[in-house]
Structure 1
Amino acid sequence: MTGVGSGSRRRGEIGVLLCLLLLGLFLSPGWRTFAAFPRHLRVFEGEVEEVLFGLPLRLHVLVDRPGVKVNGAMAGQSLGAIDGRQGFRLAAAQAGSYRLRFSLLGLLPVRELVLEVIPGLEVVPGGQSIGILLRPSGVLVLGHRPLETPGGRRVVPGRDAGIVPGDLIVGMNGRPVACEQDLLSRVDEAADQGTPVRIEVTRDGRTLVLLVDPGYDRNTGRHSLGLQLRDGAAGVGTLSFYHPTSRIFTALGHVVTESGAGRPADTSQGRIVEATVARIRQGRRGHPGEKVGELRPEAGTILGSIDRNTPFGIVGKLERMPAGHAAPFPSMPLALAHQVHPGRASMLTVLDGRTVETFEVEIVRVDARQRQPSPKGITLRVTDRRLLERSGGIVQGMSGSPIVQGGR
């Protein structure tokens, strides 16, 4: 009985010891490095990427087709052995997909890596403020909004003149209407002269001209047509970068949504236009600040067309660059996700007028666990005193401002 009990205790002690050894292994820096070893890696043609394995193992490497260099040496399909503690350098001269298998003694599989090699890509950083128009022109009538006259009567001038929800207001007094603010300002000007206005609308493919007598709304202190309107302007954002040859651009950094609906907006007729930052409204607790921008939607200020509306921003093609404000950086390589790291960086954006300025920021966190593209993969902290004093930090309208780190 004593021998059996002693043997059971010994086996229990050995089991505890093995558990502690395994726990120590899993908590070791080498194991954490091994656990973070990528299963998919994207690199540019000709660039060298250093990869850490983390464990003290002699690994054999097999690649499914020639073209990959490991530690500067290129062979056939067998690339020999590497020291897992020291890591290794990967490079490929030609674009394509390569599958690398790592094993012990060439027999026991340890890891598999898909290396995707893509052509090198250089882009020009932006930082310029742009206006986003979902429609090239016109103001959509969503409904009627009664106004209260100085005498206390509730009237709806637009409805009484025959304007109905769904009409697109495209002109007033013979001139095109670009956006809601344009229409409201001109209604005020005409009403001051005491004359009705001729409103041009499109409805079911037809163009109608309706005569409207604006009313004075004592609640707002201005003249109105009594209409609930929405124009094609989706606001002010920032140009991220563009390709100098194809002129393909990206901007904004997030999807454009329908006002009040939360769903992605239809940008099939979308345009980007010149915009000027008039002032910065600083944020306070619970209320984010914003750039107060002025859009210039006239025909001569169109900068380009929008082709796609994605979770990472809008993509399109430039017709011309914004006038009078070039970004302070020349073209540079685009950074891949794994090339971004915590540390100092620069942000390009506009705080006044059209001048692109460079501000210091710090990347404080990069989501290393992220395996799929995400618009929120990094966390920034503003360190530039000038930016903090003028805006209080990141504000609405800075979305899409390019971040430059390490020449990328």
Structure 2
Amino acid sequence: MDRLDGNKKNIIFPLILFIILMVFLSLNQILFYPSNFKLIKGENKTISASFPFSIEINNNEEIVKPIFNEQTSSLKQSYNLNAVSIGKTNVQLKLLGLIPVKNYDIDVVDRPRLVPGGDAIGVSLNTKGVLVVAITDVIDTDGKRTSPAKDAGIKIGDSIIKINDEKIISSEQVVNILNNETKKVNITISRNNAEFKTTAVPIKALQDNSYRLGIWVRDKTTGIGTLSYYNYDNQSFGALGHGITDVDTGKLLTVENGLIMQAKVAGIQQGKQGKPGEIKGVFYKTDDVLGNIKINNELGIYGNMKKSTKKQIEGKPIPIAFKEEVKEGKAHILTTLDDNKIKKYDIEIVKAESQNKENQKSMIIKITDPVLLNKTGGIVQGMSGSPIIQNNKIVGAVTHVFVNNPKKGYGLYIEWMLKQEDKL
């Protein structure tokens, strides 16, 4: 009897260990698989689960029609999900067919089509109010050193949006108001998306007899970048793949208004280890205006194209790839370096991150094209926004370079860029 019990133990313990191992391996796959994904109308996707998990279809077959795959093994359950019509549904994963473990939300959509960019663009951005980039002391006509701005609680990175209820649009306007209103002024400040009011008394400066608060401000910025895409459906655009920040404060600039314009590449400074390179370009505000900037956030600049711009677009719309469709491997970017022509350069997607939230570091990419490496040394400033194409689909845009290895950098999923258009 003891020998029989020992044989049972020899069988049961390995079986338990096997079941635990299967649960662990299956659960590991489940936890890292996105809990929501898109299906394209007319296309299909396979979803599967291994013992002891099973799939339960909580579904309206008018949206997604599931077909059981009979070729799967007894320990594995697999369904082909055929997207029939636009809408939302879900499937559920259960442990031993009883305990709910995870819901998969499915969104059936039409696949968006965009015109890939690659154009060199000039960016001119006017801030909301004026940005405080420095705070200094003022020496008054009696030789006394004070700082009205500091006493008023104003900090570097603040935006002054009103003085005495007058909307501020330029640094010159601030100077004029302070010299006409030499007594206490009421100031409305924007800081971290919140507004508050303070007061300050301008000081008559010894150096020029003008009235000052002890602040340096900036009201606009300009630069060169790359257009990521045009969207014919709503006459919109996306560019850069990262936000425009102030060079002194590092703060993301709030947009009052801005323009993107056709730019001409004037020269290239090669990127080297520890020293990012740069595309140098020129543009004129009065010529070749492509669109109006409405949004500047961590994921780029977005806005509306001019209606006449459509005639200038050379490319044709191509499909996008959703984030779960982006694969590690060969791809290419479109960018403008010389002859002011958009050209294709080979890259490799080294890593594609699994992301459920917007993040500008979606992919790690590596420049492999010998022509591009010879010209730029890799990714350089001004290439940000260059569209990334894989399998004839737009998958994202270049965002940042690795400072210590200019051949490598980050890319942003195009799906995250398109989500910003909802804010327009």
TM-score band, normalised by shorter chain: 0.5 to 0.7
Structure-to-structure mapping, 1:299-314, within 5 angstroms: 299-314=286-301
| Paired AA for residue 378 in structure 1 | M
- Is structure 2 residue 30 aligned with structure 1 residue 25? no
Cα contact 1:57–1:83 (8 A) shared by 2: no
Look up the match of 2:43: 48
- Identity of matched residues, %: 29
Look up the match of 1:272: 260
Look up the match of 2:401: none
| Further displaced range: 304-313 or 389-398 | 304-313
Look up the match of 2:58: 63
Look up the match of 1:116: 107
| Paired AA for residue 242 in structure 1 | Y
Look up the match of 1:154: none
d(CA) in 2 for partners of 1:344, 1:392: 19
Deviation at 1:276, TM superposition (A): 1.4
Give TM-score, length-normalised by structure 1.
0.66
SS at match of 1:257: coil
Structure-to-structure mapping, 1:111-260, within 5 angstroms: 111-135=102-126, 201-203=172-174, 230=218, 232-260=220-248
SS at match of 2:34: coil
Deviation at 1:396, TM superposition (A): 1.0
Structure 1 pair 80/229, CA: closer, same or farther in 2 (3 Å)? closer
Look up the match of 2:162: none
d(CA) in 2 for partners of 1:144, 1:364: 44
| Paired AA for residue 376 in structure 2 | S
Cα contact 1:360–1:383 (8 A) shared by 2: yes
Deviation at 1:118, TM superposition (A): 2.8
**Deviation readout 1:181-201 (Å, 9 max, x if unpaired):** xxxxxxxxxxxxxxxxxxx95
**Deviation readout 1:337-359 (Å, 9 max, x if unpaired):** 11100111110001125211111
d(CA) in 1 for partners of 2:361, 2:132: 36
Look up the match of 1:101: 92
SS at match of 1:255: coil
Deviation at 1:94, TM superposition (A): 2.9
d(CA) in 2 for partners of 1:135, 1:128: 22
- Is structure 2 residue 293 aligned with structure 1 residue 281? no
> Alignment RMSD, CA only?
4.3
Indicate the structure (1 or 2) with the bigger Cα radius of gyration.
1
**Deviation readout 1:292-320 (Å, 9 max, x if unpaired):** 12132x23332211111222111100115
Deviation at 1:334, TM superposition (A): 1.6
d(CA) in 1 for partners of 2:91, 2:135: 65
Task: Give the unaligned 5+ runs of structure 1.
Answer: 74-78, 146-199, 209-227
Deviation at 1:323, TM superposition (A): 10
More strand by percentage: 2
Task: Give the unaligned 5+ runs of structure 2.
Answer: 137-170, 180-215, 394-424
d(CA) in 2 for partners of 1:316, 1:247: 9
- Is structure 2 residue 372 aligned with structure 1 residue 387? yes
- Is structure 2 residue 336 aligned with structure 1 residue 350? yes
**Deviation readout 1:249-295 (Å, 9 max, x if unpaired):** 11000111123222221112122122111111011221111111213
**Deviation readout 1:123-163 (Å, 9 max, x if unpaired):** 10001011111129xx9997899xxxxxxxxxxxxxxxxxx
d(CA) in 1 for partners of 2:79, 2:290: 46
Cα contact 2:279–2:381 (8 A) shared by 1: yes
The equivalent position to 1:373 in structure 2, one of 358, 378, 389, is 358
d(CA) in 2 for partners of 1:101, 1:287: 50
SS at match of 1:361: strand
Structure 1 pair 330/323, CA: closer, same or farther in 2 (3 Å)? closer
The equivalent position to 2:346 in structure 1, one of 347, 360, 363, is 360
Deviation at 1:10, TM superposition (A): 8.8
**Deviation readout 1:105-135 (Å, 9 max, x if unpaired):** 8645454211022333111000101111112
Look up the match of 1:396: 381
Deviation at 1:373, TM superposition (A): 1.9
Structure 1 pair 251/234, CA: closer, same or farther in 2 (3 Å)? same
Give TM-score, length-normalised by structure 2.
0.64
**Deviation readout 1:189-224 (Å, 9 max, x if unpaired):** xxxxxxxxxxx9545778x9xxxxxxxxxxxxxxxx
SS at match of 2:333: strand
Structure 1 pair 201/372, CA: closer, same or farther in 2 (3 Å)? closer
Count of residue correspondences: 325
d(CA) in 2 for partners of 1:262, 1:7: 74
Deviation at 1:47, TM superposition (A): 4.0
The equivalent position to 1:337 in structure 2, one of 310, 319, 323, is 323
Structure 1 pair 124/205, CA: closer, same or farther in 2 (3 Å)? farther
Deviation at 1:244, TM superposition (A): 1.4
d(CA) in 2 for partners of 1:21, 1:144: 67
Structure 1 pair 337/205, CA: closer, same or farther in 2 (3 Å)? farther
